[in-house]
Amino acid sequence: MVKEGKLRRIEPGIYYRSRGTIVGESTPSNRAVTAAKGGEPLQPTGLTAAAMLGFTTQNPSRLEYATPAEHGPRRLEAKVTNRRPDSRRLLSPREGAILEFLRNRAETSDLSPSQTVTRIRTLLAQDRAFDKLIGPAMDEPPRVRAMLGALGQEIGIPERQLQKLRRSLGPVSKYDFGLLASLRYAKEWQAR
């Protein structure tokens, strides 16, 4: 198919089919090439996650991903952070990006603190995302569990579901919520 011109080869085992556009033949996006090269799940992190989730319009020159694998994919033109918790393997890239965004304390958001809170609440309320994140969040740093709990309380998650997160926090610890410090229930969830 390559000889016939139907497919183009990027590297051994990775091919794409271009389409004619108004400015010439299309090329694969960096995100698509990255996904094709990775055998392990790759979830956006940093600016890549913020752009995917709608917190910024910036796109990093080098895509950023996190993976539960011990070693990231080789020959990947992206920054890959290894050894994220195995419980993330079943999460979609969008759900993983939400955890990464919380892990980074929303630092990559170009929105105001109140707009950031509104956006993350909307994302957690869609497609039962909050319910899917409770289990994997137990393997994340305590600040992520605290922020997720405060967000869950804001979107009306029943207290019995939040108890698992609440019990996992140290009783005297305080956590840096970053841009999410303006959450209504941040102090109840031990924000500094």
Q: What angle do CA 153, 173, 145 make, to 5 degrees?
A: 40
Other CB atoms within a 10 A radius of the CB of residue 178 amount to 18
Q: Residue 27 has what pLDDT? A: 73
Q: Tell me the mean pLDDT in the region 2-14.
A: 74
In angstroms, the CA 33 to CA 31 distance is: 6
Instruction: Please say if the pLDDT value at position 85 is more than 80.
Output: yes
In angstroms, the CA 190 to CA 192 distance is: 6
The 3 state secondary structure assigned to 67-116 is CCCCCCCCCCCEEEECCCCHHHHHCCHHHHHHHHHHHCCCCCCCCCHHHH
Model confidence pTM above 0.85: no
Phi-psi region of 105 (alpha: psi -120 to 50; beta: other; left: phi over 0): left
* Ranges of each domain in the chain: 1-37, 38-189
Q: Give residue for tokens 């979107």.
A: 155
Q: Residue 11 has what pLDDT? A: 67
**Winning range, highest mean pLDDT, from 1-10, 25-34, 39-48, 153-162:** 153-162
Q: Residue 2 has what pLDDT? A: 77
pLDDT in tens, 16-39: 777 778 788 777 766 556 555 556
- List alpha helices for the chain, DSSP H: 30-37, 46-53, 93-103, 113-125, 129-137, 142-154, 159-167
Rg of the chain, C-alpha, whole Å: 19
Residue 51 is given by DSSP the state H
What percent of the chain stands above pLDDT 70? 89
Contact criterion met (CB below 8 Å) for 78 and 34: yes
Q: Residue 191 has what pLDDT? A: 97
Q: Tell me the mean pLDDT in the region 151-155.
A: 96
In angstroms, the CA 175 to CA 186 distance is: 9
Q: Residue 32 has what pLDDT? A: 59
- Range with the poorest average pLDDT among 13-17, 41-45, 140-144, 154-158: 13-17
Q: Give residue for tokens 């992190």.
A: 45
pLDDT in tens, 41-68: 889 999 999 999 999 999 888 889 998 8
Q: Tell me the mean pLDDT in the region 79-91.
A: 91
